[in-house]
Amino acid sequence: MINPELIMHEVTLENIKQTLLDWYDVDTHHYITVNAIDNGENLTFDWIFSEYEVKNVIHVFRAENIAYKSNIPSMMDVYPGAWVSEWDLADMFNLNMENAHRGMFLEPEAPTGPLLKESYSGK
Amino acid sequence: MVKMFIESLKNLTTKPVTIGYPHTPSPSPKDYRGTIYYQEDLCIFCDLCEDVCPPGAILFEVTNFEENIREYSYNPYLCIYCHACVDVCPKADEGCLVQAETRLKPLGREETLPKDIKLGYFMDRVTTPKHLDSQWDEFEDRCEESREGHDEFKAEKKRKKKEEMAAKKKLEAEVKAKEDAALENDVSKSENNPEEKVDETAKDKPKE
Amino acid sequence: MGNKITVTFGSQHIAIPEPVSFVFETENEMITKVDVDVGYVHRGIEQAAVTKFKFNNVQFLLARVCGFCSITHAGAYIHGVEKLLGVETNKRIDYLRLIVTELDRMHSHLLANGHVAEVCGYENLFMQSVKYRENATEILEAITGNRVQYDYYQIGGVSRDLSAEHIEMIDVKLKELRVNVLKLRDFFDTDYTFGLKTKGVGTVTYEMAKAYNTAGSIARASGLRMDARNEFDFLPYEEVGYKLQTRTEGDVWARCMVRFDEVINSIDMCLYAVNNLPEGEIKVKSKGKPKGETFIRVEAPRGECFYYIKGNGTKIMERVRIRVPTYANIPVLRELFVGSQYSDAQAIVLSFDPCLSCTAR
Amino acid sequence: MNDLRAKSPWITHYNTGGCNGCDIEILAALGPKFDIERFGMLNRGNPKQSDILLVTGPVTLRCRDVLRRVWLEMPEPKVVVAMGSCTHGGGVFRHLYHTENGIDGIVPVDVWIPGCTPRIEAIIDGLIEGVEIWKNKTKEKEYMVGHSEKLLEKIGVLND
Amino acid sequence: MEALIVLSIVLPLILGAIIVFAKNDILTSLLTWMMLPVMSILAFMIYAADLPIYVDTPHVLHWIITLFDFGLLAYFLYLGAKRKSMLVSVLSLVQFILLVTVIWVLPESSTANIYVDKLTAMMYLLVAIVGVPIAIYSIKYMDFDEKDKHLFVGLVVAFLGVMNFAVSANNIEWFFAVFETTTLFSVIFIGFRGDKEAVDNSTLALWMNQIGGVAILLALLIMIKDFGVYHFTDLLIIDKETMSMAAFGFLSLAALIKGAQLPFHKWLLGAMVAPTPVSAILHSATMVKIAPFLLLRISPIIEGTLLAKLLILTTGFVFVAAAIFALTQDNLKRILAYSTISLLGLMMLAASVGTPTAVAVSIMLIIFHGFAKGFLFIEAGVLEKVFKIKYLQEMNMLLEKAPLTLLFIFFAFLNMTFIPFGVFVGKWLMIEEASGLLSQGSSVLLIALVAIGGVFLSVLYMKVLGVTIKHHRFTDIQVQKQPKTFLFVAIWFYLWLLALTIFIAPFAGDFVAQISNSLTGETTPIHADGLSLVVGESTLYFWQILGALLLLAFIHIAPLKFKFKNVDQMHPYNCGEVYTRQAGTYDFLFLKKYEGIANMIAITLFMLVVVLGGQLL
Amino acid sequence: MMGLLLTLFSPIIGGFIYGVERVVKARMQSRQGPPVLQPFYDFVKLMQKRPMMVHSFHASMGIMYFISTWFAMAVLMMGNDLLIAIFFHVISVLALTIGAFSVRSSYSIMGAMRELMHVVSYEPVVILLAVSLYLVTGSFDIAKILTSDITPIFSLPLVFISFLGVMPMLLHKSPFDIAEAHQEIVGGPDIEYSGPFYEAVYTARWIEYVYVYFIVFLFGGSNYFLGTFLVVFSFIFINAVDNSTARLDYKKMLKFAWFILIPLSMLNIFFVVVGAN
Ligand code: SF4
Ligand code: SF4
Ligand code: SF4
Ligand code: SF4
Ligand code: SF4
Ligand code: SF4
Ligand code: SF4
Ligand code: SF4
């Protein structure tokens, strides 16, 4: 059984960028992805990192209770490769993501925000 | 470059590694995940396979509501040969659902339509390979309807049965009551109770 | 205008079997601008995993996120579910899983390298790669029942056991494969024209690799010591002799070479695992429904595959998030084109071994 | 003549969003062990010079029009060989929000190859089956008599 | 006959003057149109006469010309001062001093100052048949929003006279005078539009050509000092063995500059700012053709010397380099200019080789290049004025926009390189000749240069043709209306080229070979066998000529005429996508960085020509 | 007479060569490969396809490519001047490139430009070859070359080697299949042809095989046995090279042709000249 050692950092949308700018070290930290979870009323955001050559450690920067229409900051200033995951999330959750180009994955005729609970739970 | 040059010349003089399929056979290895076969007589109609099948390649259509006869349908062209149905089938060991090592022929000209009774429940109904896909769509709808219909039918039947039972009971009760009345002259004791019970059951059952 | 030629590369193009489109703007064949569309394969798997499918058959769907690493996708998910269910697998299961995962890596790497050779116009090298790769796929077919979609992982175990004949066959074929891969590696290594076409082309420097958080053989070819097998204990890699392979050149050629080195390492690991297979059941009983969340990293052939799984105690999962290696490598890929020749673009793309079907899901 | 023709089917392959599994096998089928060039088959990659359109995948929304265009660009006589369960009703991707549930509604299919992933032997069987059908086809365009230009324009083949 | 010769020199001058001063449209047209038959007949009559002819001139003419020289130099000095160009002023002063010295030491000579041989007569013909239609063309051309129409046409007409004069001058001092006059004309033409760019370019042309003038004067001085003669015909009879080559070194230098060889090609490129007929006339029949003409005049003398070898090297190098750099250009006229520079290189190369066949090649190239280039520039002018197309990338879809012009351009370009047209025959003969020389131990480099340069030119033309035809759509082609004059001139050139090509064997075997015979005094191994061309042991059969003509005719007429019926039309393969995309061409701009190196090499070669070839050391 | 027959049958001979080549190529890749007559099956197939074109001009250029290649073949077989035959080949290249340029497809246009780069690379070498043959046999006349008592291969080994170097360019074989480059520009100039029109281009390529191998044959001089041997040798060699090299880009091709092959040829000619004097 896998046993990841989770290191949780509580952040908010306002301070996430600054926190990451301070914390993220290109030599030791590896950005994995950003994730969003729909809790039914609001979203949870996770920015997920690992460390090079350190076993089983996963850093998670978790911002909770995000309203659906909040403006999400882009992390492209911190690590330039962030755009794929951010644009992807913007499409999938119909987010107001900074700098995001919509339609990277979704065609116009597809449902908007397919990963939102309201989109698939039939309401 | 030079090494490859020599290798090329060497290959030119040696025999190619190409196998001769289809002129020479190339059998599947043991336990190859091929077509799913089904034995109706062994099936207990538990619907577990239909439930687990990822693409929905197994469907049961209720063909006879009265006797609750369900017909197994399998679409080998939709099946992803994942083996999940066989894993889940309680009667798999007896051979109710088996994954064969052989695979199906591709579906092209009409002559090549597979006619194997055991697997081709769905295919048998198809006359032309074109529109097979849309037919499966219709079929899915029909199965869905049949299931719903069956559920309704079942509920209806149950209700009717209950009603009958109730009526019967009532009758019996009446008779009994008459008898009793005749015997004891106590009429007002048990008149409404059975009817309420029927109502409750009728409400509950279809919801399941 | 005038001297600019816009070349579309995809979505239907002979060099990339997958639908992906690059729109290059070239001047004298030199690329000056590039647009990438990676969304052709988007099918909506993340949604399907939390709606249509129950937690015990999601792995079949996830295996079909991508054919090359069907085993890793299903594997990552099942590792996660097992964690949520609290299932402890035994050594034999781990070893069996490891064998199939590494065999998958071998065939994937060999095909990827062969494909690089093919788009470099080196048809024979492609043919030789595919020829030798057959050994790996034959083994896989024999032990899992399919050449590509193994469906081998199951919750709490694996679907089939290895028999004695299997072990014998694997041993013979892998030893043969090892010889052949070394030969093939030698071809790639020493070939002059292939070197002309690939050395110094599409170079990802160590700094770039770090800055863009690349994964897999792309990162390792640039000297970034980055391998989920090294950083995450999802399978007992250390026991079977895993070694991290890196190079420093970072170009197309180095990526091929890293893949060959990994194939050889994988063969060694498999040989060890097959010959030292622990005894035990191949399936552990599991009960209950997954509840809670977990993060999983596994090393797919193309690099790190990351899963986030959240269950809510019902049959349906709450959230499945997939981050795949190509997804991490697309940003750096896009940066590489500007300034390189159009005739090298195919080799660069294919040396990344892009998997759009998992990128777009 | 048709028998001679049947010895030279050229292939265009298009993946409409499958898992690559099928495509890997197509590559392997080109390889030395199976070598479909024995039957005169070449992977041309260019629909204008091909006779068999080998499609894999469940047809995602974005691939749909591309598939149509590729098919339209192939001159008659031509056949479409659909490979894998994805192409038939979408396979495991059936009824996802971004797929078209297989290629049947998009282009007319002549041969279905079952399997996920089909064995290479099945690919060969399917292609041979396709060739048998192709042999009896003619140059005629049975579809869209009389309104070709318009239809082409609508689909976006007459782009520019 | 003398009168005819004088007439053909003077008539254009007079007519030009009338046109300039009369400023009357009808008169202009009338006179210019009239010149076509008159000049042609004159030239034919002179050619048919018993050549060579020496025309004696009154002594006073000599003084007039000398005076004119000084006037010219004074004007140049004035221009230099006005345009604040030190170079021009200094060069004018140098020329002034040299000219005074020359006149000081000039011995008496009884040789006639005007000498007309077959070569000269051929140049007359070229001027009449190629130059006059261009003058006609320029009447219409100037109607398109240009000013000073009459002045322009008058100058063009007069320029033809100057050119005729230049090719008939025997006295090198006179030749210097005409040489400078052509410079003057080119300066006026280039600066015609009067804007800054035009003036700058004309100044450039001025000082570059003045260097040529200086070179001629130096040559003249040395000649007078060494041999005491200053007539071309006198030079030919001096014993070759003992001769010093210094004078010829300088003469060749003048030729190289006039022929706009690298690195002096800038002036010809700068000439592009002038109205297009200027380019047409400069490139086809006049001006630059003085360069190979001059070399042809002295080729019997320099044949086989080190000077000739160095010239071969230089011009061969230019032939290749200019063809390569032409690939980097995107302006049609500049491409044509580069190709002229390149082909001039080949002509001069052939002239320097100096064997009968090589001389024939040079003549052949002068003629066919004149026709084709005149044609091309005319069509470039049509494109510019009627269709507003100047750059290569705008030439896309010419087939829809200007089908007829495309047809003409296509044909002219085919003429520039493909079998069986004249330029090709020249190239082919050159290779044959060079191969012959090879076995006698001459340079392997010569052959390689000819082969390589020819290939580059072919590729250049194919590229340009490709671009003109590019992006054709499905639409039907409608032939657009063009001014009748343009059409006439185009058809005139077309028919001449066609006729000359079909009868290339007699033309080369009789006409060209005769000129070459007369120049070299040996028999040229080219003759016509029926309509097949026989060169030594090789034959260009008539069926090959005809076959190639038919193939090419089909290729260039096909776009207009040929239609497939009942065939499906489909858009190009675009990976199944519908992106609109640009499709330009390669511009090979990365080659530009080698241009400096090429110029350096060319300068070195120039030095070598003058210093080593002229045996100055 | 022989020349006429050879010309008439050159498509068939070429098709046969191509068929053998495909088998040899497959065998070199340890595959079984298609039947030898495969090119003719392809021919029949293409003829039976529904004709489809981009526009008439493009389609007619495909046919012109075929005709002019065949004509060049006729000139080579029946004319007497090798040089002229070489220049006729340029006409066919013209038809091909003009056709390729005329369509609105960047692949096609890139293919055409690359085709021109091919010409720049091989043409000087081929001309030098003709010149060197002239040098040793004293004639450009093919009939004379084939009857001269000198065997050119012995005095022109370097020229032969450099011709081996340009053969991949002429025949579009790896490492110089740059204009065709299937994985980059999907066939380059041929891409837009389909059905019968593609068949014209396809067949023209066969004629080019005969054209090129005939030039190889000339190296045998009057020793036809040696000539045949050279043809077979170069055939195997070219195919082995095709199968053991990656495709280079056009700049590398130019450099190879210009800085290696041309000097090589010139060196050989130089030696011959020096040796003769
Ligand atoms: S093998 Fe899988 S897809 Fe096929 S019927 Fe069984 S469960 Fe369904
Ligand atoms: S799981 Fe087995 S027993 Fe149950 S319905 Fe399916 S086939 Fe029948
Ligand atoms: S050989 Fe490779 S590039 Fe070519 S079509 Fe096949 S998979 Fe695609
Ligand atoms: S990158 Fe993704 S899709 Fe590709 S092989 Fe790896 S896990 Fe599979
Ligand atoms: S990377 Fe490609 S091959 Fe691998 S899983 Fe993804 S789509 Fe499939
Ligand atoms: S089969 Fe599918 S995944 Fe494989 S290369 Fe072709 S399109 Fe891509
Ligand atoms: S049929 Fe199966 S293997 Fe083939 S593409 Fe679809 S999911 Fe992949
Ligand atoms: S490049 Fe194209 S034509 Fe050439 S061998 Fe490869 S697939 Fe065939």
Alpha-carbon span E81 to A31, nearest angstrom? 71
Q: Which residues contact E100 (CB under 8 A, 6 or more apart)?
A: none
Nearest CA in chain C to F177: C121
Write out pLDDT tens, residues E48-57.
877 777 877 7
- Per the structure, the complete domain to which residue D15 belongs is given by 2-154
Is beta strand D79-83 parallel, antiparallel or unpaired with respect to D52-56? parallel
Domain count across chain A? 1
Question: Taking CB atoms and an 8 Å cutoff, what residues of chain D touch A111?
Answer: 97
Q: Which of C12, C61, C130 sits opposite D32 (nearest CB)?
A: C130
Residue to mutate among E400, E409, E447, with most F CBs inside 10 A, is E447
How far is residue E47 from each of residues A91, E117, E125, E285, measured CA to CA in Å? 84, 8, 8, 17
Answer whether residue F90 is part of any domain: yes
| Amino acid of residue E225 | K
Per-residue pLDDT at B187 exceeds 60: no
Rg from Cα positions in chain E:
24
Of E227, E372, E251, E347, the closest CA to residue E302 belongs to E251
Question: Taking CB atoms and an 8 Å cutoff, what residues of chain C touch F106?
Answer: 5-8
Min Cα–Cα distance to chain B from C229, Å: 27
Q: Kindly report the average pLDDT of chain C as a whole number.
A: 83
User: How far is CA F30 from its chain centroid?
Assistant: 26
Alpha-carbon span F152 to F163, nearest angstrom? 13
Write out pLDDT tens, residues F99-145.
888 887 888 888 888 888 888 888 888 888 888 888 788 777 887 88
- Per the structure, the complete domain to which residue F156 belongs is given by 2-18+50-272
Answer whether residue F35 is part of any domain: no
Of E326, B15, A56, the closest CA to residue C297 belongs to A56
Domain count across chain B? 1
CB E213 within 8 A of CB E251: no
Answer whether residue F69 is part of any domain: yes
CB F22 within 8 A of CB C117: no
Domain count across chain C? 1
Per-residue pLDDT at B198 exceeds 50: no
Q: Is C292 in the pocket of ligand 7 (CB under 6 A)?
A: no
Q: Which residues contact B157 (CB under 8 A, 6 or more apart)?
A: none
- This prediction has a pTM of 0.84
Of B33, B130, B37, the closest CA to residue B81 belongs to B33
pLDDT in the model for residue B190: 47
Min Cα–Cα distance to chain F from E529, Å: 15
User: Average of pLDDT values for E434-450?
Assistant: 74
Question: Taking CB atoms and an 8 Å cutoff, what residues of chain E touch F159?
Answer: none
Instruction: Report the pocket of ligand 4 as residue ranges, CB < 6 Å.
Output: C 65-66, 68-69, 72-73, 300-302, 305, 324-326, 355, 357-358
Atom of ligand 2 lying closest to residue B92 CA: 2
CATH classification at residue D104: 3.40.50.12280
Q: Which ligand is nearest to the CA of B95?
A: 2
Q: Which of E330, E581, E588 sits opposite C6 (nearest CB)?
A: E581
Q: Kindly report the average pLDDT of chain A as a whole number.
A: 80
pLDDT in the model for residue E242: 66
Per-residue pLDDT at F60 exceeds 70: yes
Alpha-carbon span F83 to E504, nearest angstrom? 18
Of C328, C334, C213, C219, the closest CA to residue A78 belongs to C213
User: How far is CA E530 from its chain centroid?
Assistant: 30
User: According to DSSP H, which parts of chain B are helical?
Assistant: 2-13, 48-52, 84-88, 121-124, 132-183, 193-204
pLDDT in the model for residue E614: 64
Per-residue pLDDT at E593 exceeds 50: yes
DSSP state of E157: H
Q: Do C212 and A58 touch (CB under 8 A)?
A: no
Alpha-carbon span C83 to B18, nearest angstrom? 46
User: According to DSSP H, which parts of E169-288 are helical?
Assistant: 172-190, 196-226, 232-236, 246-258, 266-270, 276-283
Alpha-carbon span E55 to C275, nearest angstrom? 110
Alpha-carbon span C135 to C149, nearest angstrom? 16
Task: Work out the pLDDT band at D142, boundaries 50, 70, 90.
Answer: low
Cα–ligand 2 centroid distance for B118 (angstroms): 14
How far is residue D40 from each of residues D6, F154, F200, measured CA to CA in Å? 9, 41, 19
Helix, strand, or coil (residue C68)? coil
Please state the ipTM of this predicted complex.
0.82
Answer whether residue F37 is part of any domain: no
Is beta strand D10-15 parallel, antiparallel or unpaired with respect to D42-43? parallel
Residue C185: how many other CB atoms lie within 10 Å: 18
B80 touches chain D (CB under 8 A): yes
Each domain of chain E, given as residue ranges in start order, spans: 313-560+581-589
Helix, strand, or coil (residue D157)? coil
Answer whether residue F39 is part of any domain: no
CATH classification at residue C230: 1.10.645.10
D to F CB pairs, distance under 8 Å: 80
Question: Taking CB atoms and an 8 Å cutoff, what residues of chain C touch E329?
Answer: none
Tokens 């399936």 found at: C283
Between E240 and D103, the more confident residue is D103
Question: Taking CB atoms and an 8 Å cutoff, what residues of chain A touch D97?
Answer: 110-111, 114
Per-residue pLDDT at D145 exceeds 60: no
Per-residue pLDDT at E111 exceeds 80: no
How far is residue E132 from each of residues C295, E142, E158, E395, measured CA to CA in Å? 87, 15, 11, 28
Q: Which ligand is nearest to the CA of C145?
A: 1
Cα–ligand 5 centroid distance for C44 (angstroms): 15
Q: Is C68 in the pocket of ligand 5 (CB under 6 A)?
A: yes
Between F254 and E401, the more confident residue is F254
Alpha-carbon span A44 to E504, nearest angstrom? 86
Between D120 and A119, the more confident residue is D120
Q: Which ligand is nearest to the CA of D29?
A: 3
Answer whether residue B69 is part of any domain: yes
Cα–ligand 8 centroid distance for E461 (angstroms): 30
Q: Do A32 and C327 touch (CB under 8 A)?
A: no
Between E106 and E64, the more confident residue is E64
* Per-residue confidence in pLDDT tens, chain C, 361 aa: 467 788 888 778 887 878 888 888 888 788 888 888 888 888 888 888 888 788 888 888 888 888 787 888 888 888 888 888 888 888 888 888 888 888 888 888 888 888 888 888 888 888 888 888 888 888 888 888 888 888 888 888 888 888 888 888 888 888 888 888 888 888 888 888 888 888 888 888 888 888 888 888 888 888 888 887 877 877 888 888 888 888 888 888 888 888 888 888 888 888 888 888 888 777 877 777 788 888 888 888 888 888 888 888 788 888 888 888 887 788 888 888 888 888 888 888 888 877 777 777 7
Min Cα–Cα distance to chain D from F25, Å: 11
Q: Do D128 and B130 touch (CB under 8 A)?
A: no
Min Cα–Cα distance to chain C from B18, Å: 9
Nearest residue by C-alpha to atom 7 in ligand 3 = D27
Strands (E), C184-302: 291-300
A115 touches chain C (CB under 8 A): yes
State the greatest distance between any 2 C-alpha atoms of chain D, in Å, as a whole number. Answer: 46
Per-residue pLDDT at F221 exceeds 60: yes
Domain count across chain D? 1
Q: Which residues contact E85 (CB under 8 A, 6 or more apart)?
A: E79, E203, E206, E207
Alpha-carbon span D91 to D84, nearest angstrom? 8
φ/ψ (deg, to 5) at D134: -60, -35
pLDDT in the model for residue E501: 84
Cα–ligand 6 centroid distance for C115 (angstroms): 12
Question: Taking CB atoms and an 8 Å cutoff, what residues of chain C touch D18?
Answer: 64, 67, 357
Residue A117: how many other CB atoms lie within 10 Å: 16
Task: Work out the pLDDT band at E343, boundaries 50, 70, 90.
Answer: confident
Mutate which of C20, C65, C110, C307 for ligand 4 pocket (most atoms within 8 A of beta carbon): C65
Task: Work out the pLDDT band at B203, boundaries 50, 70, 90.
Answer: very low
